[in-house]
Structure 1
Amino acid sequence: MAGFCPEGAPAEAGGKRQQFGSRLLSDPMRVFHHNAWDNVEWSEEQAAAAERKVRENSTQRVYPEKQVDYEINAHKYWNDFYQIHENRFFKDRHWLFTEFPELAPSQNQNHLMDLLSESKQNELPECRNKEDGPDLITEEQHKYSSDGLEHKTQTLPVEENVTQKLSHLEICTDEFPGSLATYRILEVGCGVGNTVFPILQTNNDPRLFVYCCDFSSTAIQLVQTNSAYDSSRCFAFVHDLCDEDKPYPIPRDSLDIIILIFVLSAIVPDKMQKAINRLSRLLKPGGMMLLRDYGRHDMAQLRFKKGQCLSENFYVRGDGTRVYFFTQDELDTLFTTAGLEKVQNLVDRRLQVNRGKQLTMYRVWIQCKYRKPLLSNTGS
């Protein structure tokens, strides 16, 4: 009997999950032989029915004054969510390292070696101007920083292209959490640590440092009090992805990976572009932004009732949290406008199966990987 990984990721009997999009349903008679099937083709009738359902549940919108409440008190609704559920919904995302091998230990070091020429470190007399990045140090952050750090700057050679000469990227390594790490990962919208803890538990490399933030202070408290949390390797902090005035506690051009898993869909569509723009500035040239989120006409979208629609393809759940359903083109526009280059943008129409009840559920997810160019113009 095949196993089943959380969030719809099927596993083989031996526990190894097949690659994203590789389990195909060729014989409809075998639909209940596994718990999930990838890239299930929709009939014209099914697609038309989904369109009709979305039009139907969008005819009645949430009153404007209530929409204001959902925006102003968003932190309250998410705190209530985590206070109610705490760790009871924690799912070990076994599929992480299959779908995103960039997070795997073998990838962490020398991640940019295929992109960069041979590198050496040179000390420079001073760091970048304060206008180039956030004011990094607060008393709160000092307790998460390594002791005895010295003020110094690393210079990494960056290959622009075969016809252009090498330029240099300055990274200020003045004191900030993880300043001595050589490979840095940030998860935005970390929840209770579903992604962060598998990364930390899988990779013991002392040169790795993981940052994680969430809009909910309750979620961050649950992360920090988890027995797997290690402040010498991880820095968890409360952060509003849409707050343009609050800097990240990380300098620009310093992250190798940024992870967004079912989080971008939770914010107001009009604020998404600026949020991605800000995040892109934190990536090193060659760094990657990884996303997995809800696709248009996912089962969750089709289940909404009239009166739960905030705006086109944007809804509020019964608990006050919100969710948007993307197309591939929308996500491509968000990332490329932020100056990133497409590596992957896949839609998976997945068929989940409840074999006990003989039920089928059609999910639509999108998975993306976008890279910051080696010669980057995203810093303005």
Structure 2
Amino acid sequence: MKGSMCERRRQFGSRFLRDESKVFEHNAWDDVELSSEQQEEARKQIAVQKEAYVSPQQAEYLLRNVSQQWDMFYKTHGSKFFMNRNWLFTDFPELNVNNLVSNLDYESDKLVHVLDAGCGVGNTTIPLLQTLERSGKLYLYACDYSQKAIDILKESIVQWSENCKPFVWDITSRITSVIPMDSLDFVLCVYVLSALPPAKQQQAVNNLAKLLKPGGSVLLKDYAQFDMTQLRFKKNRLIDDNFYRRGDGTLVYFFSQDELDGLFMNAGLKRETNLLVRRLIVNRAKRIKMYRIWVQCKYVKVLLF
């Protein structure tokens, strides 16, 4: 069973749809682009959304109470809403700790320092901590602006408490004193910046960049424009261009590649990769096609000589 799971992970990202008639033979296909007709239909759907924006009063309330909305979310759902991101090491092989330690040319007693920014209840944190059982080379900080999320995470990681420090921090506010400046090897931003108001995203990126050591990297995965979840929004959900409120009051933004380059390069980081990840998800029973689009990036803090 274990071997077959590993084999599935190796195949992830390598199934390409070359014959449209075979689309319902598998549950997912990789690197499937929207056709020009589908892109035009997406623009029309967004035009419909723009016919009725969120009211200014409601938008102001949501923007003032971002962390409170997530507190309510986690009080309702606890740790059961999101699945652990066990795909993390496939998307970001840098986080394979054994490779990571050798690549960074670390001495045997040194730790790799990582921040899971916007950690929530630990769906990225916990898979990372599980690598400790194989290497013992990781020290992980985990921050979120939801106190409830951090409380839940602390209960889940008791066995790793010496190697992980969860704490409350709004990354759009003042820089934290919990983490030394210029100390982190990696910062993870997995579906994090999209949850922030666009006007506060640059401050968040600036803060994270200051915590990276020279040569350290930000690893990011987030929602891209024209993703299925953007196009499914109805009227009265749009706050501003590509920026929406969900039904539970949380917020979500859909990025272009250029926007992310701008945020991180303005913070002094260098782009190493910036890719669109496209996947066609298929519901074979209902004969439904769902086009998912994410952006996946790596930005590096330039070494000082």
Q: Say whether the fold is shared (TM-score over 0.5).
A: yes
1:230 and 2:149 matched: no
TM-score normalised by the chain length of structure 2: 0.92
Show the counterpart of 2:245: 316
Q: Which amino acid aligns with 2:62?
A: Y
Residues of 2 paired with 1:342 and 1:67: CA distance? 33
1:89 and 2:81 matched: yes
Please tell me the root mean square deviation across aligned C-alpha atoms, in Å. 2.1
Residues of 1 paired with 2:224 and 2:4: CA distance? 25
Residues of 1 paired with 2:11 and 2:205: CA distance? 27
Show the counterpart of 2:114: 185
1:348 and 2:292 matched: no
Q: Report which of the two has the higher share of helix.
A: 2
Residues of 2 paired with 1:83 and 1:257: CA distance? 29
Residues of 2 paired with 1:20 and 1:335: CA distance? 28
**Equivalent of 1:240 in 170, 185, 210:** 170
Show the counterpart of 2:258: 329
Instruction: Count residues with an aligned counterpart.
Output: 301
**Equivalent of 1:53 in 32, 45, 51:** 45
- Give deviations 1:170-201, integer Å, cap 9, x for gaps: xxxxxxxxxx9631010111111111111111
Show the counterpart of 1:217: 147
Show the counterpart of 1:40: 32
- Give deviations 1:143-174, integer Å, cap 9, x for gaps: xxxxxxxxxxxxxxxxxxxxxxxxxxxxxxxx
- Give deviations 1:43-67, integer Å, cap 9, x for gaps: 1110000011112202322222211
Alignment CA distance shift 1:208-1:340 (3 Å): same
Residues of 2 paired with 1:207 and 1:340: CA distance? 26
TM-score normalised by the chain length of structure 1: 0.75
| Superposed counterparts of 1:67-86, under 5 Å | 67-86=59-78
**Equivalent of 2:301 in 345, 360, 372:** 372
**Equivalent of 2:98 in 103, 106, 112:** 106
1:249 and 2:178 matched: yes
Residues of 2 paired with 1:66 and 1:186: CA distance? 33
Residues of 2 paired with 1:95 and 1:225: CA distance? 23
Residues of 2 paired with 1:235 and 1:300: CA distance? 33
| Superposed counterparts of 1:254-265, under 5 Å | 254-265=183-194
Runs of 5+ unmatched residues, structure 2: none
Residues of 1 paired with 2:103 and 2:77: CA distance? 36
- Give deviations 1:343-380, integer Å, cap 9, x for gaps: 1111022111122222111111110011111128xxxx
Q: Which amino acid aligns with 1:366?
A: V
Show the counterpart of 1:283: 212
Residues of 1 paired with 2:205 and 2:75: CA distance? 28
Alignment CA distance shift 1:228-1:354 (3 Å): farther
Q: Which amino acid aligns with 1:331?
A: L
Runs of 5+ unmatched residues, structure 1: 1-10, 114-118, 121-179
Residues of 2 paired with 1:219 and 1:74: CA distance? 14
1:41 Cα deviation (Å)?
Answer: 2.2
Show the counterpart of 1:132: none
Secondary structure, counterpart of 2:57 in structure 1: helix
> Who wins on radius of gyration, i.e. which is larger?
1
Q: Which amino acid aligns with 1:24?
A: F
1:211 Cα deviation (Å)?
Answer: 0.6
